[in-house]
Amino acid sequence: MKDISCRLLVLGAGPGGYVCAIRAGHLGIDTVLVEAKKLGGTCLNVGCIPSKALIHAADEYEKALHFASGENPFGITTSGPVLELAHTIAWKDGIVGRLTSGVSALLKKADVKIVEGSGKFRDGKTVEVETQTGLQVIRASEIVIATGSAPIELPFLPFGGRVISSTEALALTQVPRNLVVVGAGYIGLELGTAFAKLGAKVTVVEAQSRILPQYDGELTRPVGKRLRELGIEVMLDAKAKGLDDKGEALSVEAADGRKRSLAADKILVTVGRKPMTDGFNLDAIDLDRDGPFIRVDDKCRTSMRGVYAIGDVTGEPMLAHRATAQGEMVAEIVAGEKRAWDKLSVPAICFTDPEIVTAGLSPEEAKRAGIEAKIGIFPFQASGRALTMGKEAGFIRVVARADNHLILGVQGVGDGISELGSGFSLAIEMGARLEDVAGTVHPHPTRGEAFLEASLRALGHPIHI
């Protein structure tokens, strides 16, 4: 096979890699994109997009059940709904297919050459790719590593059979009667909640003392309450030990030291993700590391000249939109533009019920940084829009400097508030102060008004509370 030479080679076509390649193409850079599986990576194919589709379907099914039972405040009663999960999964796969086709079209439009196969480094300028038609050698002036991450596998609960990762959970065509989720992080609780709404008996096993340990207790409290309402049992300070002798249940050591056996048709292990750095012969270029991650500077440059890394392989936060922003930046750096990673806010969203949004510093993080802060909280119980939707759990919280009222962070928990995250992040990046938000006319009635009201409360003159 004839060798390929190019200006830029991107390894991995996830939300970081394919965006980097498209932007590079826009800038006239001769670009090759290497992907072993499907365009879009984990996020588009077996992560962000399909999980949100399943979560939405579960929400709709739960609504239908409430309408059928008459247990709703809207005066709506219907006949009993029927769930055909295989049909739901086919709908989800159709969405993924449309989006991957769209990515392919965008890459083609940007004149990016796609090579399908597994890439390995020969040296800092050369990668060889095992394709279906043979070995393809690619030489590039500059290379971007965007290989993403994979679910962490527990040695005593290897994936296979009853033990599944989020990838297999999103492909189930039948709702398990008993689902045990190991890990109460955002992936475990998002999927555990969805399957509980679809009819599964869900038990969550968490080794730490609270759910969603990456968020503060004020934000997670409404989520914990909703888990109990859904009948989800949460075992805290509990340790999964492995399958029982028959291989049909999970052995667990509870907080009091007692052993429990949890019947499980499926055991969903969601204890985190690890960077995908194995299998690419990275030893050939001997990059500096931060633990398991590739070390990069504020331009995403690695310790080897001409080699960049973006996305999950570079560390926390392991979020698709961070990878996307890094990918766009690196393409512009390669094109000669002056860029550096100087983001004040990388918002994070947990698509539980209710949803959690965080941007910037929390009150505790501001305190640890030695910053005296003003805090304003507005509960959705006082929101007209939340009440008209029958979803009044949660609040919006704003964190600002006490001296000049510069907004440092915004957090919230509530139904459907993921859409507010962009506005929170924009306010922080633009250097908004409490007075800027308070002086902005917010449309009524919306959940977004809670941002205004929280800012007014931090200033000491709330209106609707």
Give 50: exposed, middle or buried? Use CB within 10 Å, 0-12, 13-18, 19+: buried
Helix (H, G, I), strand (E, B) or coil at 150: strand
- What is the rounded CA–CA span in Å between residue 34 and residue 147? 10
- What is the rounded CA–CA span in Å between residue 284 and residue 304? 11
pLDDT exceeds cutoff 90 at 357: yes
CATH 3.50.50.60 corresponds to the domain 4-46+89-151+274-334: yes
Which residues are annotated as catalytic?
Answer: 444
Q: Which is it for the CA torsion 315, 317, 319, 321, positive or negative?
A: negative
Return the DSSP state at 303: S
pLDDT at 70: 87
Average pLDDT over residues 127-144: 97
Q: Which is it for the CA torsion 56, 58, 64, 69, positive or negative?
A: negative
> Are β-strands 178-182 and 266-269 bridged in parallel, bridged antiparallel, or unpaired?
parallel
Average pLDDT over residues 60-86: 92
Q: What residue ranges of the chain are covered by domains with CATH 3.30.390.30?
A: 348-459
Q: What residue ranges of the chain are covered by domains with CATH 3.50.50.60?
A: 4-46+89-151+274-334, 163-271
Residue pair 223/211 in contact by the 8 Å Cβ criterion: yes
Helix (H, G, I), strand (E, B) or coil at 336: coil
- What is the rounded CA–CA span in Å between residue 19 and residue 403? 40
Which residues fall within 8 angstroms of residue 437, CB to CB, at 6 or more apart? 398, 407, 427, 451, 452, 455
- If one counts every other C-beta atom within 10 angstroms of the C-beta of residue 178, the result is 17
Average pLDDT over residues 325-344: 98
Find the angle CA(50)-CA(271)-CA(198) to the nearest 5 degrees.
45
pLDDT digits (tens, 9 = 90+) for 397-435: 999 999 999 999 999 999 999 999 999 999 999 999 999
Amino acid at 137: V
What percent of the chain is modeled with pLDDT above 70?
A: 100
Average pLDDT over residues 211-218: 96
Q: What is the CATH number of domain 348-459?
A: 3.30.390.30
Under the banding of pLDDT at 50, 70 and 90, the label for residue 1 is: confident
Instruction: State the residue for tokens 């709330």.
Output: 462
Which position has the higher pLDDT, 79 or 296? 296
Instruction: Tell me which fold the domain 163-271 belongs to.
Output: FAD/NAD(P)-binding domain (3.50.50)
pLDDT digits (tens, 9 = 90+) for 223-242: 999 999 999 999 999 999 99
Helix axes 17-26, 85-109, angle to 10 degrees: 30
pLDDT at 71: 83
Nearest to 81 by CA among 101, 103, 96, 59: 59
pLDDT digits (tens, 9 = 90+) for 168-199: 999 999 999 999 999 999 999 999 999 999 99
- Global confidence as pTM: 0.95
